[in-house]
Amino acid sequence: MNPAVLRQLRAPLAACALGAAAVLGFAPTALAPLPVLSAAGLLWLWQGAAAPRRAAALGFAFGMGLFLTGVSWVYISLHDYGDMPAALAAVATLLFCAFLALYPALVGYLQARLGGPLAARQLVLIPALWTLSEWLRGWIFTGFPWLSLGYSQAESPLRGYAPLAGVFGLSWLVLLCAALLLALMRPTRRGAAVAALALVLGLGYGLDRIEWTQPQGAPITVSLLQGNIAQDLKWDAGRFASTVQLYQRMIERSAARLTILPETAIPRFLDLLDPALVSALAASARRHGGDLIVGVPLRDGAGRYYNSAISLGASPSQRYDKIHLVPFGEFIPPGFGWVLSILKIPLADFSRGSTAQAPLALAGQKIAVDICYEDAFGEEIIRPLPQATLLVNVSNVAWFGDSLAPHQHLQISQLRALETGRDMLRATNTGMTAIIDHHGHVVAALPAFTQGTLSGSAQGRSGATPYVRWGNAPLLLLATLLCCVYALRHRKSVAPL
């Protein structure tokens, strides 16, 4: 290859490698310093890219490394379980990751376009732009906030900021710490950079010791059921009876106050179930004064159907209908009906539940239920708070096989617990079933791809963290204000296209 071409490719390849390395900061490896170091490497590459288009290309390369390494499990759902031809699934996965990579590309472009002093750009502008880009990624086309850099800090000192500013606030701090690491390379600023890093990390450590919420009532016993039903068998009509019998046995063995089954644990519309089965499940829970939460699809007289969770047992029966649906998995966007001729996905046209659903009053607690992918959206999880005292997530990530996805999803749930100051109970089909305390620590978990019951206790809590009260609004307002002030202050140094 031409040496000149190799020189041109050196920086994009380095950016791609940095993005890939950042994935090691997320679960299951959870090497929290790596995303900070990777971001510092990207900032350093941007220093040498004065042209906005060149900076955008480096941001895009970083994003491709990050997303191709971190979320390429999308291929498994498309090909292995959706029956999409391998070549088409590979192209679809590549295009999806390329779309996600546009967000760091936009950050690269804007920071180079606005120009200004290098230190101000790295310490002020880029962290604010990155935060806004991650929020946009979690909103546009219903959003995909997976691998927001803040999730990688679930076990680092920066975690202490989550109850104040949420996961996007942690992403801001990742970029800020990356900029301070670069400042260490400048002798004249080394002392100030060390002091600033120590302040950011020390304050985070201190904030993590604050009890933002208070216990509500006595702890309750819980049983989280993991049926480990393979995705390619889950909707097989011939397997329905054995699936139901499995969960019946697990429910009968549970003596917990609250027993939770995974998303669509009963893979048949509720109105098609034998009433005697529903009565038997409820009776099993009532025998010890307990309640069940069961994932099951529901439909109404108008032909709409919902991905739902219902309660059975000692308390009056209640339901929750999933609100935030997965594009192409649970609903088909307008104009994309042809996708159904390629993908073999059961029940791919769910209706959205109401945003005004109240927490479920069960086991002496008020329980905010969310289903699978919904807990990736922090501002939606706080909707029923502070009324809700416990968080429950029912999931089925068997769609993604033995990949990074179940581990990353567990880490996302840790952040929701941290942001809200609530225990989070996760019942999943194949993993990761877990009990997470209000500080975001995994208290207990079942191994993935095993059948079992996770028994333990959960403590309801009352009160509201600053994030529960205000959501993302203060952070987004501050990021927007800083970007606007920066642009006005340095408008004379704006770089040409």
If we measure between CA atoms, which residue out of 143, 195, 137 comes closest to residue 171? 137
pLDDT of 496 strictly over 70:
no
Token pair for 94: 């590549």
> Is 380 an annotated catalytic residue?
no
pLDDT of 50 strictly over 70:
yes
Tell me if residue 302 falls in helix, strand or coil: coil
**What pLDDT sits at residue 234?**
83
Site of tokens 């090691």: 24
Q: pLDDT tens-digit profile of 25-35?
A: 999 999 999 99
**What pLDDT sits at residue 186?**
87
**What pLDDT sits at residue 495?**
64
**What pLDDT sits at residue 168?**
98
Residue 421 near residue 411, CB atoms below 8 Å: no
**What pLDDT sits at residue 340?**
58
pLDDT of 128 strictly over 90:
yes
For the chain, residues classed under CATH 3.60.110.10 are 214-464
- Over residues 178-182, mean pLDDT: 97
**What pLDDT sits at residue 345?**
64
Active-site annotation holder among 16, 97, 372, 483: 372
Q: pLDDT tens-digit profile of 57-76?
A: 999 999 999 999 999 999 99
> Is 322 an annotated catalytic residue?
yes
Active-site annotation holder among 97, 134, 263, 366: 263
Cα 106 from Cα 109, distance rounded (Å): 5
In sequence order, which residues have a C-beta less than 8 Å from that of residue 279 and are 6 or more positions away?
none
Q: pLDDT tens-digit profile of 246-285?
A: 999 999 999 999 999 999 999 999 999 999 999 999 999 9
pLDDT of 169 strictly over 70:
yes
**What pLDDT sits at residue 208?**
96
Residue 56 near residue 170, CB atoms below 8 Å: no
Active-site annotation holder among 16, 322, 419, 483: 322
**What pLDDT sits at residue 338?**
60
**What pLDDT sits at residue 303?**
83
pLDDT of 342 strictly over 80:
no
- CA of 239: how far to CAs of 100, 123, 234, 452, in Å? 38, 57, 7, 19
Lowest pLDDT segment from 283-287, 302-306, 447-451: 302-306
**What pLDDT sits at residue 188?**
83
pLDDT of 356 strictly over 80:
yes
pLDDT of 347 strictly over 70:
no
Lowest pLDDT segment from 117-121, 125-129, 394-398, 490-494: 490-494
Q: Map 97-140 to HEC letters.
A: HHHHHHHHHHHHHHHHHHCCCHHHHHHHHHHHHHHHHHHHHCCH
Q: For the chain, what percent of residues have pLDDT higher than 90?
A: 82
**Residues paired with 118 in a beta bridge:** none
Q: How confident is the model at residue 339 (pLDDT cuts 50, 70, 90)?
A: low
Q: What mean pLDDT is reported for the chain?
A: 93
Cα 373 from Cα 78, distance rounded (Å): 17
If we measure between CA atoms, which residue out of 161, 198, 160, 168 comes closest to residue 180? 198
Q: How confident is the model at residue 497 (pLDDT cuts 50, 70, 90)?
A: low
CATH assignment of 214-464?
3.60.110.10
Q: For the chain, what percent of residues have pLDDT higher than 70?
A: 94
- Over residues 311-338, mean pLDDT: 84
Q: How confident is the model at residue 80 (pLDDT cuts 50, 70, 90)?
A: confident
Q: How confident is the model at residue 472 (pLDDT cuts 50, 70, 90)?
A: very high
